[in-house]
Amino acid sequence: MYSTILHVIRFEFQRSLTSGRILTWLLLCLFPMLLVGMLQWQSDGNLPEFALVMACYTLVPQIGCMLGLLMWASPAIGSEIESQGWIYLTLRSRGRVSVAVGKYVLAYLWCASYGIVSACGVTMLSQHDEPVRLAAALIALVLLSSASYAALYLAIGALAFRRATVVAVVYSLLLEGLISWIPATVNQLTVSYRLRALLIGWLTPDMSQLPEDALLVFGTEPIWFNIACLFIFTAVCMFIALLTIHQREYPVQAEA
Amino acid sequence: MTPIIQFSHVSRFYQTVIGVGDVHLDLPAGAYGLVGPNGSGKTTFINLLAGMLRPSIGEVGVFGVNPVKDRRVLRRIGLCAASDLLYPNVSGLQWVEYLVGLHGFSIDEAHDRAVATLIGVGMEANMRRPIGSYSLGMRQRTKLAQAIAHEPDLLILDEPFNGLDPIGRFELTSYLTDWISRGRSLILASHILHEVEAVTKAFLLIHGGRILASGDAADVRAMLSGFPAQIFVRGEGLPRIAMELSSERWFRGLDLSADQAEMTIRVSDKVAFLKRLVELANLPQVNVFALESPDGSLESAFEMLLRVHRGEHVAEVAH
């Protein structure tokens, strides 16, 4: 199984080395740095710590990772069906699962790579008092965010392969964008909530300026619990994705 | 001989449309042409065989195993699908190497097999170019290479001659003949009968999702011996001949062209017809220029089976 997954990663990596993808990688890498740089320039370097940390978090592990994975993970199955390559992959005894896992790993690597570079870049531009601590926290969040969102979008891609990216965008806006900010039990089921909780746990920025109720949307659970939640979320999404891909009859070609 | 392919009353429905209907057959190892017009169910048959579709009713077995439940059997199958390849920026070598690798071969072994097979199908000069720059014929060869590189026991080809030039067709026919001579099994799906006949004499005729007949051309002809033969006649005074023949007991029907210069006549006794035609040809203002009977070819047998399937022969016999 490992060797077939390696074949997928190798092939997909070769396939992904196009000017368009490399340019996308660069853009996703640079746009958080540009925005953080502009914020600092606008405020003459006096941005409150909490706002600065939140800006770095929102631009890199949150929006940056989501955007990249929407492009790399959600169309994993749909693109194969569209390019008529699915029929050949399913004719390999471990083809379906290997392709899904291989594409997941590659999406993760692409996303984590620009996320790490971007995290280092925004840390330098932020002029934070503890740059190493900030960079380490952002990188850890990038790694966790990439793993969770890649699994989520792969599952969406497996279930709704025809409109995978659209469904993933709607899901992200609705659940990760809106519901995760609602101070109720439901927001604890989102990845954003767990990532924010980890951010607070690792960096403990000064939140005294915020109303007390705001803590409800940042989470106060222990770090290990939030990490465990993200692992469970990732495992459940991967299970759903792999089971669907293994069992489902996807359209392979037109009737001849 | 143990069958390599078993269909036990298999039906596959697409909502209200029948993909294949109540197919029941046991095929021993060998080469078979799967012949039928477009939309007849060939691809559904192949997809069921390859475990890509589950039967709605019945059970499919390949080498004694259900390909949906135990996908390890897919290692013994090679499929060259009818659909086109749409990986524009990947070379043929990278693609074949990848698909061979997915069968569980190491990177080096997958590479060696891919190179050897692509050379074998005549892609030596072009295998490192992107697939997007390939002609249709090159893409067909590349698809064939991925199907055979892992040395399967059963090769399934869906419309493999599409897009091939005459040389390519000849080379593919020779390759497949050689494949069969090495004792390997083959399912060749096509709607072009003479291409199938050039590779194998055993075939399955499929139409409307049903297997109409199986065996070789002689088997089908024997099966159809009781049905009317078709004879094409070109000449002058054909309405007179038609009128004379219509009272014969072996006459089953005819189609006369608008200009009355050609007719296709259906008879149950060919010898009696020919004797009578010789007599009629001596009548004044009657001339027979050409007489053709397509019987004996797979095409005519297929046409006949379709007519039987549609129930046309019943009307003719009643006439």
Q: Render pLDDT for B280-311 as a digit per residue (tens, 0 to 9).
A: 888 888 888 888 776 555 566 666 677 666 66
The complex's ipTM works out to 0.84
Residue B64, classed as helix, strand or coil, is: coil
Burial of A195 (0-12, 13-18, 19+ CB in 10 A): buried
d(CA B94, CA A15): 9
- Structure-model confidence comparison of residues A208 and B263, the more confident one: B263
- B73 close contact with A: CB closer than 8 A: yes
- Percent residues over pLDDT 90 in chain A: 54
Q: Render pLDDT for B89-144 as a digit per residue (tens, 0 to 9).
A: 889 999 999 999 999 899 999 999 999 999 988 888 899 999 989 888 888 899 99
Amino acid at position A208, single letter: S
**Smallest Cβ distance to B101: which of A7, A83, A93?**
A7
Given an 8 Å threshold on Cβ–Cβ distance, is A85 in contact with B87?
yes
d(CA B261, CA B298): 27
Residue with tokens 């029929």: A87
Res A250 pLDDT > 80: yes
Rounded to the nearest integer, the mean pLDDT of chain B is 84
Q: Can you give the pLDDT at residue B300?
A: 64
**Smallest Cβ distance to B94: which of A14, A85, A249?**
A14
d(CA B146, CA B152): 11
Query: In terms of residues, how long is chain A?
Result: 256
d(CA A125, CA A55): 12
Among the ranges A167-181, A192-206, B36-50, B263-277, which has the highest mean pLDDT value? A167-181
- Percent residues over pLDDT 70 in chain B: 88
Chain B residue numbers with beta carbons less than 8 Å from the beta carbon of A98 are 102
Q: What's the order of all strands across the beta sheet hosting B262-267?
A: B251-256, B262-267, B229-236, B287-292
Q: Can you give the pLDDT at residue A205?
A: 60
**Smallest Cβ distance to A91: which of B79, B83, B89?**
B79
Tokens read off for B283: 């009548």
Tokens read off for B304: 């006949």
d(CA B114, CA B108): 10
Rounded to the nearest integer, the mean pLDDT of chain A is 88
Check the CA dihedral B55-B58-B60-B65 and report its sign.
Answer: positive
Q: Grade residue B222 by pLDDT with cuts at 50, 70 and 90.
A: low
d(CA B258, CA A117): 80
The DSSP annotation for B15-50 comes to TTEEEEEEEEEEEESSEEEEE--TTSSHHHHHHHHT
How far A220 CA lies from chain B's nearest CA (Å)? 46
How far B145 CA lies from chain A's nearest CA (Å)? 12
Spatial contact of A37 and A130, defined as CB atoms under 8 Å apart? no
Q: Can you give the pLDDT at residue A255?
A: 42
